Amino acid sequence: MDSFLPLLWDLLFPVRCVSCRAPGSWWCEVCRKKSELIRRNPCPNCASRKAVHDCPKSLGLDGIAALGFYHDPRLRSVLHALKYKGATVVMSAVEERLGEWAEERLDIWPWSGLSNLAIQPAIGAPHSVRRRGFDQAHLLSCVVNRVLIPWAAPLDILTRTDSLEPQARLDVGDVRRANVAGSFGLEPGASVPPNILLVDDVLTSGATLDEAARVLRAAGAEKIYALVLAIGA
């Protein structure tokens, strides 16, 4: 009987790839391997991937590492499953892809050479964390810490209040920036280390990471980096 129930569950709700619906795994090997990896670090000032570009210097970061592109349907399916369907089971496949990314990178990590680094999730707004029952930035931060940078210290000093409007309903640029402003804060009495890696799922306008970095820098952080799963709207 004990082995019958899981079998019945699998029959009723078969595990399927969140991207191509192939049975057998949450993110099949074909989709995982076909999701394009970013092998060079984007510009820390504007997140552009072009070596030569007209840089608006809109971000206050010291370096960015991004796994892939938001416009890549295979990676986007995973991000959507994680964010909107609560499918945290896809994290094991993400973990695998992060390992492959580390092996295939052409650039050194932006934080390379530092002897100390703390990993801080760019925590989600309280209303989305309540709705989903988990914070994907937090989950991701733990995986990044374990798989990519085991020597870094986990950090949990950011607080966040709800912004006025969900980001997706607003236009990019200044409106998003104004919307996110003031939403991050620090835990009372928090001790802020000098080198911090912010982890988030997606970087679109960069307003969220920029705001988190601003708060941390104002409290004494010297170098602030970002690692995201996907870049671009």
- Judged by the rule CB under 5 A, the positions of this chain that interact with Zn ion are 17, 19-20, 22, 28, 31, 43, 45-46, 48, 55
Question: From the CB of 92, what's the least distance to Zn ion, in Å?
Answer: 15
123 burial type by CB count under 10 A (0-12 exposed, 13-18 middle, 19+ buried): buried
Question: From the CB of 26, what's the least distance to Zn ion, in Å?
Answer: 9
Question: From the CB of 31, what's the least distance to Zn ion, in Å?
Answer: 3
Question: From the CB of 139, what's the least distance to Zn ion, in Å?
Answer: 21
- For Zn ion, the closer CB: 17 or 137: 17
**Number of neighbouring beta carbons within 10 Å of residue 109:** 18
User: Tokens standing for 51?
Assistant: 């070596």
Is residue 59 within 8 A of residue 41, CB to CB? The reply is no
- For Zn ion, the closer CB: 24 or 182: 24
CA nearest neighbour of 213 among 222, 204, 205: 222
- For Zn ion, the closer CB: 155 or 203: 203
Q: Helix, strand, coil proportions of the chain in percent (round to 5)?
A: 35, 15, 45
User: Tokens standing for 217?
Assistant: 């820098």
- For Zn ion, the closer CB: 22 or 153: 22
Question: From the CB of 222, what's the least distance to Zn ion, in Å?
Answer: 21
Is residue 56 within 8 A of residue 44, CB to CB? The reply is no
User: What letter represents residue 68's amino acid?
Assistant: G
- For Zn ion, the closer CB: 26 or 109: 26
Q: CA 19 to CA 66: how far, in whole Å?
A: 20
CA distances from 224 to 60, 122, 140, 209 (A): 8, 12, 18, 10
- For Zn ion, the closer CB: 19 or 179: 19
Question: From the CB of 114, what's the least distance to Zn ion, in Å?
Answer: 22
